[in-house]
Chain A
């Protein structure tokens, strides 16, 4: 219906090897920094673009704007002291850090977590996924100038944060999943209040479907844009919705069920187009899965039980030498903690494997050349990038 073909006749021709010889002196190229403060960036990172006309010919990612050296800091903190800092590695979905870290410690220390805590952890992770998608889809709409969807979903996220607040005692950094279990039981009346949130969310999402997903402009700007060849998934370590949008139903919840996912009934949504539209659509459909999972979890939730296993005195908790890798399916893909212990009271090494590390570095740089400047934001957001998990 709408079609604009840019005039590229003036553009420099690639060399014999198919690569561009970029020489800024020629005046044909322009360096353009997108970020680190840019409405089209997901968080504090930047992409150094080289443009020719309105087409990007090269993009280099730059991270480090909020590098705090968590992995190193943890090496001089006791096992319990690491617990309050891991959540900071990811603001919109901090709970995977808490879960993976706790589970890694429990694994190496040989601690069995009570059943109640496993249900609670699953609930929290799904609530976190729900909220993370709210930001992703809100951000997607924002990247394309559709501000109202971002506002709606921010509200939906906000009322879910109310549930987080009453359950965990905090809105953003929940610090509720700690080595040994969780910090408390469900508050009274929580299920009813959660149901209200889910119903409100469904109402808003119905509007989002009409305003965003059925929007001609949105479709035009996302379909066929930012295509990732599924052949690249393995070489570039693509996981989660980014892979599912290309027809690969990668999902740790199914592939390697953890917590209580094997007791829950759900399907992993997939698309085949592997473009921005498909990736966003997978996320939109995964919200419905999350809503359904939250309902299932609350229905099957244990009536009561211990929230914590017995753990040693945390002030001098030592863990025998060993190493492990614990993973889960975050809203962005495989999230994991590689923990190495040496028998002391401190981790020897913690390595956080965030999906953005593979998605927003090598892969993004590969995808950028050839896109329009105005599509870079949408492309980035469609990869669902959270920079802190790149630089930690």
Chain B
């Protein structure tokens, strides 16, 4: 210690005339660009999935109704209680759409404490238009954005046979994919059968497959089938699709069914221990709609008989969907579970011919019409009456039934939906087997922007060597005009479709007649649309029933204007498996209510 040490502190005086460093007006000081300030929410982008609420460790967020729910949007929006919020921004990080962000605003005066509980984006705030504030870097990182790729058989291996293409996830892949689910449940409303999607996906993560199977068959007796061919509307409502791929819900469903040994199915699905009601129900058509209704009704204790015209049950699942997409064993397993519930299926019986509707009505307490759409439409363009012009549904049926079908070297398909892809790919396989090469041209009215068939169908068809031309309007099936081949099909003449919809989005095709093409082929297959074969109803019942634009009129529960008759599936709605399943449930519920009332009235 020295004298210098006594003087040294006085050097501080040199600062006495310096300008103070104090911030003069702290209330207008702008925070940094990244500052985690008050919340903003792009209300149109937000889907109300509640992931923000789930991650908030302060329980500061409530989901409150703001608009009507619709597909993929719950209509709920987050309300934040600033009495609890700690501005950690995990809600911003987890946000599935990127709608929730933060401004760099941090000053807010109000005398009313409740003002600090607000709905960002709905309750207008001065910082709503702020460009600055916390943004997560590089998108959503707190839940997976990329779908686990499904392994498929290579095109050259699959084109010569009808083996199933999709391999299915193994355990590790499925767990990874299931992990991405945020359990918001937006998909449940969109699924026609309202399957417990987040719950069964959870069973995959937890490895509890038996519980998963139970959940599946609770709401869908065609889980094996839907695990393969469902139109998976759920995936279009999936929250994960906004900044990444939707969860592969369909493949996860299949994974559960793959993991449980079939001999455990009936035990797990379980048959409720109910007394027989003694009431009888006849179901016309063993497709997904009819059999789902049968499954439910049998489990409710009723005696159910399903009448099927074709040789085997399954409807379009068997006779429409090709085996490489849905192996028959999978279908048979689902049907086996349904039969185990006590459902009787009588195949090769055509109602209206072998048994009349009147007799069905007389012998049963209720009848369900679930006859699907089994007649193919024709374009009726000139030449379409030629015997070399086939209808896709008919041809698919014959292929399944093992009948001999003509397999020319070149085939033209009209249509751009999944049925067109099914027949094109089935014929391609037969061509490969018979001729060693594929010669299929698919002409679709729709452009690829508005294509009907699933993207993956288009991709896989092309991999298999099928040519797909979009925006082609069929004008004429060209036939040989003379000689020994007179009347034989030579090809299809098409015009280019300039525009297919008018400005209101309605079908109004406009052709460019100058852009004409002729597609060579010895066979033309029409795969454009289907219609129900309602002739089995007979004239009297057709007259007695009320109709709604070509289809049997039904109420919400699927009941027709005839109190003993219900209708379900593609013939009244659809067309796809899961809608038919949903219909089956609805009809079964309704019938049961009526039958219970009948029993009570008698008692």
Interface residues of A (CB under 8 A from B): 1, 77-78, 80-85, 148, 155, 162, 165-170, 173, 175, 180, 183-185, 187, 207, 210-212, 214-217, 219-220, 307-308, 310-316
Contacts and interface: CB of A to CB of B under 8 A. Distances in A.
A169 B86 contact: no
Given A187-B33, A219-B5, A311 B179 contact: no
Contacts, number: 114
Residue among A175, A212, A314 facing the most chain B CB atoms (10 A cut-off): A314
A185 B137 CA distance: 8
B12 A308 contact: no
Given A183-B136, A211-B12, A313 B142 contact: yes
B11 A315 contact: no
A184 B21 CA distance: 30
Contacts of A162: 32
B35 to A, nearest CB: 5
A166 B90 contact: no
Contacts of B87: 170
B1 to A, nearest CB: 5
Residue among A77, A82, A169, A173 facing the most chain B CB atoms (10 A cut-off): A169
A155 B57 contact: no
A259 B89 CA distance: 25
Contacts of A313: 142-144, 179-182
B88 interface: yes
Contact of B51 (A82, A175, A315): A315
A152 B506 CA distance: 74
B482 interface: no
Contacts of B51: 315
**Interface SS of chain A:** helix
Contacts of A168: 34
Contact of A215 (B9, B34, B141, B179): B9
Contacts of B55: 80-81, 314-315
Contacts of B57: 77-78, 81-82, 84-85
A155 B137 contact: no
A219 B1 CA distance: 7
B598 interface: no
Closest 7 CB pairs of A and B: A84-B88, A81-B57, A216-B5, A313-B143, A166-B32, A214-B8, A169-B34
A187 B142 contact: no
Interface in B173-200: 179-183
B138 interface: yes
Contacts of B35: 165, 169-170
Nearest to B141: A308
B344 interface: no
A40 to B, nearest CB: 21
Interface of B: 1-2, 4-6, 8-9, 11-12, 15, 21, 31-36, 51, 54-55, 57, 86-90, 93-94, 134, 136-138, 141-144, 179-183, 202, 205
Residue among B51, B90, B202 facing the most chain A CB atoms (10 A cut-off): B90
Residue among A77, A216, A313, A316 facing the most chain B CB atoms (10 A cut-off): A313
A188 to B, nearest CB: 10
Contact of B89 (A77, A165, A175): A175
A155 B19 CA distance: 13
Contacts of B136: 183
A166 B141 contact: no
B205 A169 contact: no
Contact of B34 (A81, A184, A216, A315): A184
A62 B162 CA distance: 79
Nearest to B34: A169
Contacts of B33: 166, 187
Contacts of B94: 314-315
A13 B565 CA distance: 108
A315 B137 contact: no
18 contacts: A81-B90, A85-B57, A165-B32, A167-B34, A169-B34, A169-B35, A170-B35, A173-B88, A187-B34, A210-B12, A211-B8, A214-B5, A216-B6, A220-B1, A313-B142, A313-B182, A315-B183, A316-B205
Given A80-B142, A169-B36, A214 B54 contact: no
A98 B207 CA distance: 32
Residue among B12, B134, B205 facing the most chain A CB atoms (10 A cut-off): B12
A216 B2 CA distance: 7
B34 A307 contact: no
B12 A314 contact: no
Contacts of A183: 93, 136-137
Given A170-B36, A216-B2, 16 more contacts: A1-B1, A80-B142, A81-B57, A148-B12, A166-B33, A170-B35, A207-B12, A207-B15, A210-B9, A210-B12, A214-B4, A313-B143, A313-B144, A313-B181, A315-B54, A316-B179
A119 B137 CA distance: 17
B9 A314 contact: no
A82 B88 CA distance: 11
Contact of B11 (A170, A210, A219, A316): A210
B442 to A, nearest CB: 40
Contacts of B31: 165
B138 to A, nearest CB: 7
B5 A83 contact: no
